[in-house]
Chain A
Amino acid sequence: MNAVLAPPLPWFALIDAAAHAALPRLAAVRAAPREAAVADEADLSDVQATLGGDGAAFARVVGRHQQDVARQMARFTRDQATLEQLVQDTFIEAWQGLAGWSGRSPLGAWLRTIATRVGYRFWRTRARDRRLQDQDDPALAEALARAAAAPGALEPLDAAELLHAVLARLSPRDRLVLTLLYWEGCSVEDAAQRTGWSRALVKVQAFRARRRLEKLLPPGLRPEGR
């Protein structure tokens, strides 16, 4: 494992001007009183070290946050190989934009925003590749009817599979806003931050998505306004 984590990293010599500009900013955040800096000290020091050319430091960042990112990515795909690919893409994108992290908000929150973007892009690509799934799936209809009778009785895995199957019938935009509000349990504010949309747009999109979802669900599972 250590051999994997400490490869020769000539690529970290490619730190650009943006990274050099970010280093004093992160140093200032670290030097600030703890109550003023929201980011975790380990994240701050490892991001600083990464920007300074330390590849092992970025491996530590990935190691600390990869399970959280994977948990989020499980909302975007139920396939383990695809999930791992999306987690990788998230961290690669994070590395490319690492100099843009202010250090004044938790690194995990910043990674969640990137993960949302990566997952949404994945959905959009898939939606272009193939049209939305068949609307008349008897097995799904039966599972939905069972879930409607007792939604709390399902195992978490079954509930996740069912919710994923239901939301997969929506367009990527509708699916994203409902995934964030329902599955992730985000507030409108959080959803707006993750998507880069305004709060008003999140509310409008959620309203429209609920209306479209109502047509797909049995009465017992239909969403109501939040």
Chain B
Amino acid sequence: MDRTPLGKLAARARADRPAPVDVRGPVLAALAQRRAPQRDRTLLLFAAGSLAAAALVALVALPELSALQDPLAGMFSALDGVPR
């Protein structure tokens, strides 16, 4: 127990009681508005599935793409002999 004058003043001040508060409603409302960063498992699964499908399509399409010929190549091949 502090017997100094400041200690006595503080002891008197400690007996002060603030007006009752009820912050339950505001606290819950504030928490409801907060959007904690969440990882949506459904969205993650969907994204992973899409990525896998895209990789599969790319795997099949790339060899086909390289084998593709220019459809107009035949038409212009005749012009190859024309002197410029």
Q: How many residues of B contact A (CB 8 A)?
A: 34
A residues within 8 Å of B by Cβ? 4-5, 7, 9-11, 14, 16, 55, 58-59, 62-63, 66-67, 70-71, 73-74, 80, 83-84, 87-88, 91-92, 95, 147-148, 151-152, 154-157, 159-160, 162-164, 182-185, 213, 217, 220-224, 226
Q: A200 to chain B: closest CB distance in Å? A: 21
B residues within 8 Å of A by Cβ? 2, 4-32, 34-36, 38
A67 & B21 in contact (Cβ 8 Å cutoff): yes
B25 & A5 in contact (Cβ 8 Å cutoff): yes
B7 & A87 in contact (Cβ 8 Å cutoff): no
Known contacts A62-B23, A222-B5, A226-B2; 9 additional CB pairs below 8 A are A5-B28, A58-B27, A58-B31, A59-B24, A71-B18, A156-B16, A182-B7, A184-B14, A223-B4
CA distance A70 to B22 in the complex (A): 10
B25 & A4 in contact (Cβ 8 Å cutoff): yes
A185 & B10 in contact (Cβ 8 Å cutoff): yes
**11 residue pairs from A and B, CB less than 8 Å apart:** A4-B25, A59-B28, A66-B22, A67-B21, A91-B27, A95-B27, A163-B10, A182-B6, A183-B14, A221-B5, A223-B7
Q: Which residues of B contact A184 (CB under 8 A)?
A: 14
Q: B21 to chain A: closest CB distance in Å? A: 5
Q: Which residues of B contact A11 (CB under 8 A)?
A: 31-32, 34-36
Given A59-B28, A70-B21, A92-B31, verify A151-B8 contact (CB < 8 Å): yes
A159 & B28 in contact (Cβ 8 Å cutoff): no
A148 & B32 in contact (Cβ 8 Å cutoff): no
B38 & A14 in contact (Cβ 8 Å cutoff): yes
Q: A2 to chain B: closest CB distance in Å? A: 11
Q: Which residues of B contact A217 (CB under 8 A)?
A: 6
Q: A160 is contacted by which of B16, B19, B27, B29 (Cβ under 8 Å)?
A: B16
